[in-house]
Amino acid sequence: MFDLTPKHDFLVGIDSDGCAFDTMELKHKECFIPNIIYYYDLQGVSKYAREVAEFVNLYSKSRGINRFPALIETLQRLRRRPEVKARGVPIPLPQSLMDWMKREKKLGNPALEQAAAESGDAELGRALEWSKAVNRSVEWMVHGVPPFPCVRESLQALADKADILVVSATPEEALRREWQEHGLDGYVRAILGQESGTKKDFLALAAKYPAGHALMVGDAPGDYQAAVANKALFFPINPGDEETSWRRFREEGLQRFLQGTFIGEYQKVLLEEFDRRLPVNPPWVEEAE
């Protein structure tokens, strides 16, 4: 497990996709979803597969979860759509992948590759090939996407006051490439992705800092849950209004965090606004499988 010796009195974790960088929609719409349709034979219901995958990964409270649980949720929701049932297109639900997810803590390609090799399970192999294809698509497609306005300025303002971590469910190779491309990697102590553990694991480092001195900046409910699990504060980057959120963080949230006036009513207002952004249920009808 990654460890850290504090250099400063404060810890700040920052999510990457959809939070620091406007890459979330690009990655899912151009990289993840086409590969889901191809590898899971969803061509006959591609319209609905796209709608469901976008809802799960971008526009619901599942936004930002690890790719493998997101894949399973997408397939489960797709199986419940009456339009899909009417077309008679079979939607696979890989039980062996779900079993692997229950027993494996680091839901990334290295662990999946080992499990697939040891078991020879075809469904694990298919999930691995899908995941590798997604990574190739991301490497080919995602470049030249700058950080949101005020991200760089926020990092500069925090660099000599806080230990900054990239805390993400994205593969670390992609994270390093994107943060290095825009010269942001020099501001952070570590870049932590899916191969190293979960966001909750990473934010356990908050225990090394005084109470109220750890903060997570994220755009998804999972980021907030990881912060709460480790008694860290949370500043939301609201999906669809990222620029305003980052400006608010740079102009007021950052100083409130450092001055000890963040917790309480200020964070409560932020969280209420954030909670309204993402629904639990989709806009379409779902039936029992």
Domain assignment of residue 116, yes or no: yes
| Helix or strand (DSSP H, E) at 190 | strand 190-192
CATH number, position 196 = 3.40.50.1000
Strands of 43-177 (E only): list them: 162-167
Where is the domain boundary, 126, 141, 156? 141
Task: HSE, CB side, 13 Å, CA atoms: give it for residue 248.
Answer: 15
pLDDT of residue 1: 54
Domain assignment of residue 269, yes or no: yes
Mean per-residue pLDDT of the chain: 96
- The whole domain housing 212 covers 10-22+147-275
Where is the domain boundary, 107, 141, 175? 141
* Sign of the four-CA dihedral 111, 170, 172, 11: negative
pLDDT of residue 49: 98
Domain assignment of residue 103, yes or no: yes
If asked whether residues 123 and 165 sit together in one domain, one would say no
If asked whether residues 114 and 136 sit together in one domain, one would say yes
Show the low-confidence residues of the chain (pLDDT under 70): 1
If asked whether residues 157 and 263 sit together in one domain, one would say yes
pLDDT of residue 159: 95
If asked whether residues 118 and 228 sit together in one domain, one would say no
Q: What is the pTM of this model?
A: 0.90
How is the beta sheet containing 214-218 ordered, strand by strand? 190-192, 162-167, 10-14, 214-218, 233-236
Q: Please, is 242 exposed, middle or buried when counting C-beta atoms within 10 Å of its C-beta (0-12, 13-18, 19+)? A: buried
